[in-house]
Amino acid sequence: MKKKIRIGTRKSDLSVAQTMLVVNAMKAAFPDTEFELVCRSTVGDKILDKPLLAFGGKGVFVSEFEEALLRGEIDFAVHSAKDLPMELAKGLEIIGVMPRGDVRDVLVTMNRKRQGNGEVIRIGTSSLRRKIQIEALGEKLWPEQAVVCENLRGNVLTRLDKLEQGLYDGIILAAAGLERLDIRNQRPGRYQFHYLSPEEMIPAGGQGILAVEGRKGDAVNEIARAVSDPAAMEALWAERLVLKLLGSGCHEPVGVYCQREGNCLHMTGIYERDGVRRKEEIWEFDKEAGASCWERAASRLADRLLGRQSEEEKEPGCVYLVGAGPGDEGLLTVRGAQLLSCCGCVIYDHLASEKLLNYAAADCERIFVGKQKGRHSRKQEEINEILVEKARQHAVVVRLKGGDPYVFGRGGEEVLALEAAGIPYEVVPGVTSAIAVPASAGIPITHRQLSRSFHVITGHTKADGGLPEDFYHLGDCKGTVVFLMGVSQLGAICRGLMDQGWDRATPAAVIQNGTLPAQKEVRGTLENIEERAKAAQIGTPAVIVAGETAGLRFLSGRRRPLEGVRIGITGTDGFSSRLRGLLESKGASVQAVCRMEVVPIRSQEVLNSYEHLDRYTWLVFTSGNGVRLYLDGLLGLENGCRGDGQESAPRDLRCLGGRKLAVIGRGTEEALREYHLRADYVPEIFSSRQLALGLAERLTAKDQVLIPRALQGSKELTGILEQAGICCCNLPIYDVKAVEGAGRREEEEEFDFLIFGSASGVAAFFETGHRPGQAKLCCIGEATAKALQRYGYQADCAAGEATVQGITEKILEQAQASCQEGM
């Protein structure tokens, strides 16, 4: 342990007196250690004619000492905790605090002197917090007189001198400072002291606390920790947390005071922003003493001061029971799609196609509660509890249910649970499989000449899994009968209908995975449909239809070129949605696999590129994402790349003047046109290699090239340019990563084709546990195909043109070739 400890402090009388309190405590604990004060004047001590906010805020009393700590010139610095900024210098921390002094503010006036000129009371203070509170107290303290706050800077004695000179009718000082300077005995009989309780004037965060700042991990820190007061440290931590959550310091009027009363934590705060002032109080019962309870209380107080309700206090959100339809995502209602796009949580079951989840935002919470016969993921009671719990966390919750919520979907039970919990709800009807699935097989549910009614029956009951009582009253039914969830009871259904007088030759059909690409159907009569269904290995989910209309087949002979082809896409939502539209228009069934997201890289290098654009003669973009992120950052728009934690004045498009623009292909060119810019060069073949070769022909060694692009961008582009003697700057501005939860799930669909939109997508696909199975592999370009090779797979095709149109053309070629091979 060092024998001599150097402690930094300001030169004012109060700062020295306060630091000596710390030194004396340390001497008592470490009598063999020598302590030396290092006194310095700070920027805040030198500039006294301006409010703190005009030249830096709280940090102006601290920065000199933080620099001295980092240089090793001092071991500790002692501060009034309320003077500490929210963010300390990197490598420094608050090591310890002394027991808290008097937290109150004091209104000081001259003894036996009449205050004010009869109309205005002039109060000296530099604190916005004190200003808004003393003005509110003015009517009580000085009836029928206006209170005006005027700027007052300087140390305690300087401020008292200005009061004596008549420059102010009163000044506000901290009680702890007056006590530590012993002002009553230093200047006896001069002043009147009106102590303002914390209820009348909420103190500043950390008021009354002396904080010792030091270097993280330094061995001398044990000296400060030995004299640190746990209660004061707890209160300071909580008060600073409230200020941090408010995003404040002294830039806005804010006060916060935390204290423990037995097992209860009591926090009060006042805050004014945009002319709105809030004063709030929080009580938190501390079941298990510790920081978590303070953190919870601080979060609640900050929420209230910002005009928000905390999670525990806010009104529950609304649960929407949305019918997902029979499976085909195109049969989801527009209302259902709208709710999915804005919900904070979606709770879905097995019967809903997982493609529907693509309508939800990337950060939407997804909870699978699906049920299948023989293995229940969740009990209905659990699902009810989840609905109530999530409604208290999210404004909009979607309960996505196969078909229609009220057609054997147990929607009624969930509504009763929501009503019992006081949760608002709305039911959004869905297309029921009872009608849609037969229609997908060409079976009309009614027909004027054959069936004027239809009946929908569940294939099993809740009690014993047998057929419901209503089934045994179908003997006189002349219409169509549809059974849901009844495949395991198919034989009993057919025999029961025949026993009730139905003709054995009555047409019947069983349709599995209706409306989906994997749809499979078997036709027959009541007499032989069970045998045929077993031979075809029909499974769940399936719909059974019996009646004269089951003998009809109303289907057009027209087929689209990708009819029945199942395609999985690995890529970002933007890429997948553009490609999906093209492929589905050709008849394909498309599903996102291992969804990806674009993550901006906010670095100092990006910021520097904005400030030094004049260095470059060419800007080269290899993707629409690169165009949007870089230009949005340049223009100061919300979604752009900016320096992390750095400020830079936004610019406009004039700063691009004189620079030429190159893009890799049509999609990137279209992104550039969104900013009313046109590319000077687009290669005829849309690939990194052709872009590089074309630029190498056009540029000279005098050119400087900036390439804002993905972190995993092709090295071929920069390699070719460098070989040609052209100076280029590769600037990573975004990464493409797998969305959380994008790993392989059980029963994931097998595909005929898998499409990879980027090399990073290939890596994410394999690293999250996916495997291609028997699917043919298609890549957007050569770089993506090479990434596939690194995992031991060869691409079956690569788009000649690195666009969604190019990929679609390759899929069509491959599908046609496969069809001809199978002839």
Q: What is the DSSP letter of 602?
A: -
Distance CA 85, CA 211 (A): 12
Q: Which of 349, 404, 632, 752 is catalytic?
A: 349
Nearest-CA neighbor of 350 among 334, 381, 330, 326?
326
Q: Which residues contact 537 (CB under 8 A, 6 or more apart)?
A: none
- Helix H or strand E segment including 611: helix 604-611
Q: Which of 244, 371, 586, 786 is catalytic?
A: 371
Phi first, then psi: what are they for 150, rounded to 5°? -125, 150
Q: What is the DSSP letter of 653?
A: G
Handedness of CA 670, 671, 672, 673 (dihedral sign): positive
Say if CB 392 and CB 383 are below 8 A apart. no
Distance CA 260, CA 248 (A): 24
* Tally of CB atoms within 10 A around 412: 12
Alpha helices in 325-373 (DSSP H): 334-342
Q: What is the DSSP letter of 558?
A: -
The separation between the first and the last C-alpha atoms of the chain, rounded to the nearest angstrom, is: 88
Distance CA 199, CA 236 (A): 18
Residue ranges of E strands in 659-748: 660-663, 704-710, 727-738
User: Residue type at 766?
Assistant: F
Has 485 been annotated as catalytic?
Answer: yes
Peptide bond into 541 cis (omega under 30): yes
Q: Which of 201, 485, 596, 776 is catalytic?
A: 485
User: Residue type at 331?
Assistant: L
Nearest-CA neighbor of 437 among 547, 348, 554, 516?
516
Say if CB 399 and CB 347 are below 8 A apart. yes
Nearest-CA neighbor of 543 among 521, 528, 517?
521
Reduced 3-state DSSP string for 173-232:
EEHHHHHHHCHHHHCCCCEEEEEECCCCCCCCCCCCCEEEEEECCCCCHHHHHHCCCHHH
Distance CA 401, CA 383 (A): 12
Pairing of strands 146-150, 276-285: unpaired
Has 349 been annotated as catalytic?
Answer: yes
Alpha helices in 101-174 (DSSP H): 128-141, 156-164
Has 371 been annotated as catalytic?
Answer: yes
Phi first, then psi: what are they for 272, rounded to 5°? -125, 130
- Helix H or strand E segment including 577: helix 573-585
Look-up: residue for tokens 């890799």?
Answer: 664
Nearest-CA neighbor of 198 among 137, 256, 260, 262?
256
* Residues carrying an active site annotation: 349, 371, 485
